[in-house]
Amino acid sequence: MIWLVFGALALLALAPLALSLLRPARWRDRADADRALYRAQVAELDRERAAGRLDEAAHAAALLEVQRRALALPDAAQAGAGGGRGAMAAALFFIPAAALAVYLWNGFPGLPSATFAARQEAGARDEALLAMLRQRLASLPPGSPQFSQGWTLLAEAERNRGRPAAAAEAYAQILSTGFDADVAGQRAQALIEAGQAEAAAAWIAEALPRAPDHVGLRFLAGLAEAEAGRPAGARAAWTALIASAPEGAPWRGMVERRMQALP
């Protein structure tokens, strides 16, 4: 019976992909596909919030992450033609086959669900591992590859555990060995998620002169202004960003909607 349930769930999960193969292509280029994916992800987050599975803080953080990824997408002029229908058709077979193989190799269908005490114990183990990672990082020489990799891992772990302020501190450790625009954007986003809009705005003002054309930092500059209660500053930052957007930039519509939502 359990295999029938698993099979039905797999069919339901892959049904949208199969239906898309039967319909004519709706997108002219990669930018159209990117915009459609962004809208679908935002709609899914809205549904999760409406169903009570995401609170306002988690919804805002997840939405910000989706928008950050949209900003990092290549422009339409630079993006190649996406994967064809052959790849999608192959995925209909290989995805469930790979999932079944992995489950048969390492799965435990009879394993009972974890109790609250077990989850607490797992959380305590995770905290102990993070403490060990911090101790290890304190002994690494700054500038070494292990130093940056370790602090990146810690930053991601802290964000996943809902501690964006701690993640921002970890990103600061990475930046102490040299400036990186993408890491600077991650730190700014973590500060905004932590409710430290003023600190985020100050940091972005310091980082932007080093990477004046970085789309993510420019977007976050407007977001920090909006979160700090300065809609005029946010509007100015986003207006300048939109004015410099290349033709067909997949993130342009998202920035325009953000600007329209300003008071």
pLDDT digit string, tens, across residues 171-184: 999 999 999 999 99
Q: Give φ, ψ of 126 to 5 degrees.
A: -60, -40
| Calpha distance 243→227 (Å, rounded) | 22
Tokens of 154: 């810690």
Confidence of residue 78 (pLDDT cuts 50, 70, 90): very low
Per 3-state DSSP, the chain is made up of helix, strand and coil in percentages (nearest 5) of: 75, 0, 25
The helix (run of H) or strand (run of E) holding residue 224 is helix 215-227
pLDDT digits (tens, 9 = 90+) for 107-139: 666 666 666 666 667 667 878 888 888 888 888
Confidence of residue 53 (pLDDT cuts 50, 70, 90): confident
CA atoms within 13 A on the CB side of 133: 20
- Length of the chain (residues): 263
Supply the pTM of this predicted model. Answer: 0.60
Measure Cα distances from 40 to 49, 74, 206, 234 in Å: 14, 19, 34, 25
Task: Determine what percent of the chain is predicted with pLDDT higher than 70.
Answer: 72
Q: If you search the block for the tokens 């040299």, which residue do you land on? A: 178
Q: Which domains does the chain have, with CATH numbers?
A: 2-106 (no CATH), 154-229 (1.25.40.10)
pLDDT digits (tens, 9 = 90+) for 91-101: 666 777 777 77
